[in-house]
Amino acid sequence: MSKSTLYLIRHARPAFWHNFRFGQILTSKECTALSKEYDNSTIAIKTLPNNQIFDQIRMCSKLYTSTLTRAVDTGALFNHPNTEALSIFNEAEIPNNNNENLKLPLFAWLFIRRFKWFLGSEKNCESFTDFKVRMEQAARFLTEEIQTHTSIAVVAHGFTNRFLSAYLKKCNWTMIGLQRKAFLGVTRFVYTEQ
């Protein structure tokens, strides 16, 4: 039996992060504009911190990222020769609803929109059901890819990594380490070929 390793990495802190405050009062339209700015943001760092696990990730045979700028730019920090960006690893979209005339703090808008998304009442983005199907497909994809590559790293996002982790476990991956869930957090899995 041979063991293969997978690293799920959350992207680095976006440069955009410095441009807003969670308590900032916004209209729905302003929240939508901030969400789009966040999706297009690069990252705030130019080099990775010295870290033993990042050295292990550099040695992986394949590095995938989502197609969102913050993940692609984080992946570039590894200077990996075999990198590919795939939309299957993109973050769950935050619904854009410009109908409310209310002004709320940013964190309230994000909570309301994500809650409505979980309930399935937001129709202007990928549904929660479709997102879960995509994460299941991503887990199967990685399980197939590990037959070719002895170790894989994926630079993705908070919701993506959380749901992908659950589906990886259903595909017989075992979580053996969680460095942290914050920016540049790493979750490590092993797959034992039967």
Q: Which alpha helices (DSSP H) does the chain contain, by range? A: 28-39, 52-58, 69-76, 106-119, 128-145, 158-170
What is residue 81's predicted lDDT score, i.e. its pLDDT?
A: 94
What does the pLDDT look like over 141-166, one tens digit per residue?
999 999 999 899 999 999 999 999 99
Task: Provide the pLDDT for residue 35.
Answer: 83
Provide the pLDDT for residue 50: 77
Question: From CA 44, how far away is CA 194, in angstroms rounded?
Answer: 42
Q: Are 39 and 31 in contact (CB under 8 A)?
A: no
- List beta partners, residue 96: none
Q: Parse the chain into domains and list their residue ranges.
A: 3-192
User: Which residues of the chain have a pLDDT value below 50?
Assistant: none
CATH topology of domain 3-192: Rossmann fold (3.40.50)
Asked whether 166 and 100 are in contact (CB, 8 A), the reply is no
CA distances from 34 to 30, 78, 147, 193 (A): 6, 28, 40, 44
pLDDT at position 37, please? 86
Measured CA to CA, the distance from residue 194 to residue 127 in angstroms comes to 35
Alpha-carbon gap, residue 155 to 73, rounded angstroms? 10
Backbone angles phi, psi at 126, to 5 degrees: -55, 130
What's residue 106's pLDDT? 84
Q: What is the pLDDT of residue 148?
A: 93
pLDDT for residue 187: 94
Contact between residue 154 and residue 71 where contact means Cβ atoms under 8 Å apart: no
Residue 152, burial from CB neighbour count under 10 angstroms (0-12, 13-18, 19+): buried
| Predicted pLDDT at 18 | 62
Looking at residue 52, its pLDDT comes to: 87
Q: What pLDDT, on the 0 to 100 scale, is given for residue 26?
A: 87
User: CB count, 10 Å around CB of 192?
Assistant: 11
